[in-house]
């Protein structure tokens, strides 16, 4: 066989990678039908399947030369992937931090994948990069950042936080020899992805101070300032304060305005993790509690939580774009055609990624096809649902929820003063998981086992909250 024949033969062997119009439409329609059926029955489905045997069908299909038709693929998917575990698309998902995944986000992903625009560098896709930067502008405006910021759409809150921490490190030009004397201040309620970020960023040798919290688990700013002053007296280098606009565990918002005054006065970097709470800024009802977000130097929000988009999108914004750019840009010879930083900042110069998922489209498409009004309403509905749950749970005999929610997480206990309180509450969680209609998770607050409800799926309405209240009432009797 000569070269030409060999090439022809390989072209033919690989040709199924480009299905013809008929095959394309057949497979696509099967996937669409499956999705429509999935969505149509979603509200009757459980939010949790704890005891299914996961993945059996999947395991029987190793990756190799054999291939399956679309019907079989969908049936493996349904049985092995869709079924077991938490149904994160369900409105009954009230554990961890839900979101739901609005349908139009999936349409954005479909378009992005088919057109496969390269969204890393302005030269490669000016429209895609502009779209991302417009979304960053919109979020920055919502937070209250003015001119001079820059940001990046990431895969989620964890990577967004990592980018924020690395940027703070570069902004203060920290060197290895400085770390022992450099101090980080944070709430014990800080999300654990920030512990990971600090380690990944090579900063674990820094001194770490846990700031005292007030009764509502918010950072005590007087204690923060005392700690900073003590460290200064010791000749240390106070560097970074990390606060949360909505802690994952209890949903409380740190006093950002006051923290901003302290960091400004002492010239520390203020990093704000608003992955959970950031998009509550959309509603007037949360304006007061979220006052001061704009005082941060870097901020993280998570559109796959508070904007209800499908998993895979977070955002970081840094108030001074120079720092974000300095920390994440690098030039390579083979990129010389693409250098045009003056026209528009490129995502590849603002994050560790070069080639990336064109994730702007999964955010832009829902926002542009629906407008922001329904998102505002939905976020506000969650606030009111949490208040409703707080009020109603305290009416059920035996249950106590101490603190009114700042946002949409409520912590509560069954018989908190009973010596068997932990046992009883664990049994209630177990029963809820066995039932499966609603999923909630538990946590420990100050060492004490606590029940926790987090309302943030766009599909969670009064109906789901009422089902949960009914379950809690019934199961309390049973334990
Ligand atoms: C969810 C969350 C994170 C982590 O974000 P991912 O998108 O899960 O990576 C960080 N901080 C807070 C407060 C969160 O709620």
DSSP class of residue 78 equals: I
What is the distance in A from the centroid of ligand 1 to the CA of 191? 7
**Which has the higher per-residue pLDDT, 437 or 61?**
437
- Ligand 1 close to Cβ of residue 156 (< 6 A): yes
- Ligand 1 close to Cβ of residue 132 (< 6 A): no
Mean pLDDT of 345-353: 96
| Probe target for ligand 1 pocket from 152, 158, 250, 298, with the most ligand atoms within 8 Å of CB | 158
Which of 252, 169, 241 is CA-nearest to residue 210? 241
pTM of the model: 0.96
Q: Can you give the pLDDT at residue 255?
A: 98
Q: Can you give the pLDDT at residue 234?
A: 98
What is the distance in A from the centroid of ligand 1 to the CA of 314? 9
| Probe target for ligand 1 pocket from 191, 196, 315, 454, with the most ligand atoms within 8 Å of CB | 191
What is the distance in A from the centroid of ligand 1 to the CA of 276? 7
> What does the alpha-carbon distance between residue 345 and residue 48 come to, in Å, rounded to a whole number?
43
Q: Which atom of ligand 1 is nearest to the CA of 246?
A: 13
- Cross-strand pairs, 452: 411, 441
3-state secondary structure at position 454: strand
pLDDT at 194 over 70: yes
Q: Can you give the pLDDT at residue 54?
A: 60
Which of 101, 191, 97 is CA-nearest to residue 408? 97
What is the distance in A from the centroid of ligand 1 to the CA of 69? 37
Span 243-260, pLDDT tens digits: 999 999 999 999 999 999
> What does the alpha-carbon distance between residue 234 and residue 203 come to, in Å, rounded to a whole number?
20
Which of 290, 188, 185, 184 is CA-nearest to residue 245? 290
Q: Which helix (H) or strand (E) segment is 270 a member of? A: strand 269-274
- Ligand 1 close to Cβ of residue 276 (< 6 A): yes
| Probe target for ligand 1 pocket from 186, 256, 305, 315, with the most ligand atoms within 8 Å of CB | 305
pLDDT at 127 over 90: yes
- Ligand 1 close to Cβ of residue 221 (< 6 A): no
3-state secondary structure at position 115: helix
For the chain, what is the mean pLDDT? 96
Q: Can you give the pLDDT at residue 333?
A: 76
- Ligand 1 close to Cβ of residue 244 (< 6 A): yes
438: CB partners within 8 A, 6+ apart: 47, 48, 92, 94, 432, 464, 467, 468, 471
Span 27-64, pLDDT tens digits: 999 999 999 999 999 999 999 998 666 678 888 889 99
- Ligand 1 close to Cβ of residue 302 (< 6 A): yes
- In 68-144, DSSP assigns E strands to 85-86
Q: How does 331-368 read in b/e, with b if 16+ C-beta sit within 10 Å? A: eeeeeeebeeeeeebbbbbbbebeebbbbbbbbbbbbe
Span 357-410, pLDDT tens digits: 999 999 999 999 999 999 999 999 999 999 999 999 999 999 999 999 999 999
Mean pLDDT of 417-430: 96
**Which has the higher per-residue pLDDT, 344 or 220?**
220
Span 61-104, pLDDT tens digits: 899 999 999 999 999 999 999 988 999 999 999 999 999 999 99
Percent with pLDDT over 70 in the chain = 97
> What does the alpha-carbon distance between residue 424 and residue 414 come to, in Å, rounded to a whole number?
7
DSSP class of residue 251 equals: -
> What does the alpha-carbon distance between residue 459 and residue 74 come to, in Å, rounded to a whole number?
24
- Ligand 1 close to Cβ of residue 248 (< 6 A): yes
Q: Which atom of ligand 1 is nearest to the CA of 274?
A: 13
Residue nearest to atom 3 of ligand 1 (CA): 157
Burial class (CB in 10 A: 0-12, 13-18, 19+), 112: buried
Q: Can you give the pLDDT at residue 361?
A: 98
pLDDT at 342 over 80: no
- Ligand 1 close to Cβ of residue 314 (< 6 A): yes
pLDDT band at 332 (very low <50, low <70, confident <90, very high): confident
Phi/psi region, residue 235 (left: phi>0; alpha: psi -120 to 50; beta: rest), is left
Q: Can you give the pLDDT at residue 331?
A: 80
């Amino acid at each position: 066989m000569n070269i030409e024949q060999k090439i022809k033969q390989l072209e033919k062997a690989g040709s199924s990678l480009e299905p013809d119009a008929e095959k394309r439409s057949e497979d696509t329609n099967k996937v669409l039908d499956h999705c429509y059926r999935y969505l149509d029955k979603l509200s009757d489905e459980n939010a949790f399947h704890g005891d299914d045997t996961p993945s059996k069908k999947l395991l029987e299909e190793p990756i190799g030369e054999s291939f399956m038709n679309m019907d079989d693929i969908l049936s493996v998917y349904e049985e092995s992937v869709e079924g077991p575990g938490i149904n994160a698309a369900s409105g009954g998902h009230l554990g961890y931090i839900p979101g739901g995944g609005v349908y139009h986000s999936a349409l954005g992903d479909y378009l992005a994948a088919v057109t496969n625009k390269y969204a890393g560098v302005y030269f490669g896709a000016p429209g895609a990069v502009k779209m991302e930067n417009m979304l960053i502008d919109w979020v920055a405006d919502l937070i209250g950042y003015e001119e001079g910021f820059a940001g990046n759409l990431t895969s989620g809150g964890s990577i967004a936080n990592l980018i924020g921490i690395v940027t703070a490190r570069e902004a203060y030009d920290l060197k290895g020899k400085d770390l022992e004397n450099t101090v980080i201040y944070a709430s014990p309620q800080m999300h654990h992805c920030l512990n990971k970020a600090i380690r990944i960023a090579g900063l674990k040798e820094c001194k770490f101070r846990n700031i005292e919290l007030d009764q509502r688990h918010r950072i005590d700013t007087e204690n923060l300032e005392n700690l900073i002053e003590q460290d200064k007296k010791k000749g240390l280098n106070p560097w970074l304060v990390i606060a949360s606009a909505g802690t994952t565990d209890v949903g409380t918002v740190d006093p950002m305005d006051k923290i901003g005054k302290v960091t400004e006065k002492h010239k520390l970097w203020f990093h704000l993790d608003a992955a959970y709470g950031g998009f509550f800024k959309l509603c007037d009802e949360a304006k007061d509690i979220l006052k001061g977000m704009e005082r941060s130097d870097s901020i993280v929000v998570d559109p796959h939580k508070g904007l209800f988009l499908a998993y895979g999108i977070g955002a970081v914004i840094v108030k001074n774009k120079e720092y974000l750019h300095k920390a994440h840009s690098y030039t390579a010879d083979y990129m010389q055609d693409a250098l045009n930083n003056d026209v528009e900042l490129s995502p590849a110069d603002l994050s560790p990624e070069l080639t990336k998922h064109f994730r702007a489209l999964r955010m832009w498409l829902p926002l542009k096809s629906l407008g922001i009004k329904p998102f505002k309403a939905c976020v506000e509905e969650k606030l009111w649902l949490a208040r409703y749950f707080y009020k109603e749970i305290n009416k059920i005999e035996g249950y106590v929820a101490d603190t009114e929610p700042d946002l949409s997480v409520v912590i509560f206990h069954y018989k908190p003063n009973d010596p068997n309180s932990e046992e009883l509450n664990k049994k209630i969680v177990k029963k809820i998981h066995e039932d499966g209609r609603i999923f909630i998770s538990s946590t420990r607050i100050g060492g004490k086992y606590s029940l926790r409800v987090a309302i943030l799926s766009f599909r969670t309405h009064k109906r789901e909250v009422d089902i949960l209240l009914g379950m809690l009432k019934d199961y309390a009797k049973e334990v």
